[in-house]
Amino acid sequence: MALRIGVGLPTTRLGAEGGRDVRAAARHAEDLGLESVWAADHLIPAVPIVESTVALAAAAGATERVRLGFSVMILALRPLAWAAKQIGALQHVSGDRVLLGVGVSGPPHGTAAWEAVGVPYTGRGARTDAALAVLPDLLAGRPTALDSEAGRPEVTLAPAASMPPVLIGGNGAVALRRAARFGDGWFPSAITPADLAAGLAELRSRAAGLGRPAPSVTVGVPTSFQADGTARRALIEGLAQGYGIPAERAATIPVTGDPDEAAETLTAYAKAGADRVVLMASGPDWRRHYELAAATSAILQR
């Protein structure tokens, strides 16, 4: 089964090695044959976290092959020209390995980050759409009018860089509309296989109506390998509360158990239309998580 497997980098709850864990983790993921590593993006998070672009640059310098994903960049939180410059630079230093997940941030993350940078929280959707519309021109080094920025400047960036695949984060109708219009991929998280299949059917219809190819699908899946019954119930309860979904539906989402059981769960996502899954672990033992993820990937490829 051609389901690509990615894992999150240990950018939160860093161990004794601190930021060096990020480089070591990226190398280990590559050595294990995993397809991609991912960094979450928060300015003022609930827990300490390494900035996503810096983390992915560190991962790029420690690896040769593994893809480098934002899960997901809050593009509207940054000055657009500066964000484009960072994305282009990461493409250059990584050899075009970037996967640009883009989201708008939701209510669980609060408004503190937006207030800190002086950007209105309520306009984040429109600001994201405006950024996605001109980002390819910015990265290509073409003169680009930034109509969504103060003063509406015209900017030309250099050196030019290749445009990475854009994966639109979010589970709802707005994310589907944005993915159909701008995305190379859709990137929902903590979604049931049934809801994934329904969303993908709508996405394909919307993309066809715009004359665009159907986007690929990457799914973020909460994961706790070999969790006991208590740990699994806690994970399901957290999903139900955090995403506002019934517990019986939440129970179909997480990857738990051994690699054989995990492969069975991921097969349901593949059948629903997923091309890639990002196994998101909450614990500090990234090494064990990666090794079990690689074992699961090997089962899926049989």
Residue 96 pLDDT > 90, yes or no? yes
Structure tokens belonging to residue 99: 């996967």
On average, the pLDDT of the chain sits at: 93
Nearest by Cα to 25 from 47, 54, 69, 58: 58
Write the CB contacts of 172 (distance below 8 Å, at least 6 apart in sequence). Answer: none
pLDDT digits (tens, 9 = 90+) for 226-256: 878 888 888 888 888 877 788 888 888 989 9
The model's confidence at residue 46, banded by pLDDT at 50, 70 and 90, is: confident
The pTM is what?
0.95
| Contact between residue 74 and residue 104 where contact means Cβ atoms under 8 Å apart | yes
Strand pairing partners for 277? 5, 219
Mean pLDDT of 144-166: 95
* Confidence (pLDDT) at 19: 63
Q: For the packed helices 80-94 and 52-62, what is the interaxial angle rounded to 10 degrees?
A: 10
Query: Would you state the pLDDT for residue 34?
Result: 98
The domains of the chain, with CATH numbers, are: 4-300 (3.20.20.30)
User: What average pLDDT does the segment 136-147 reach?
Assistant: 97
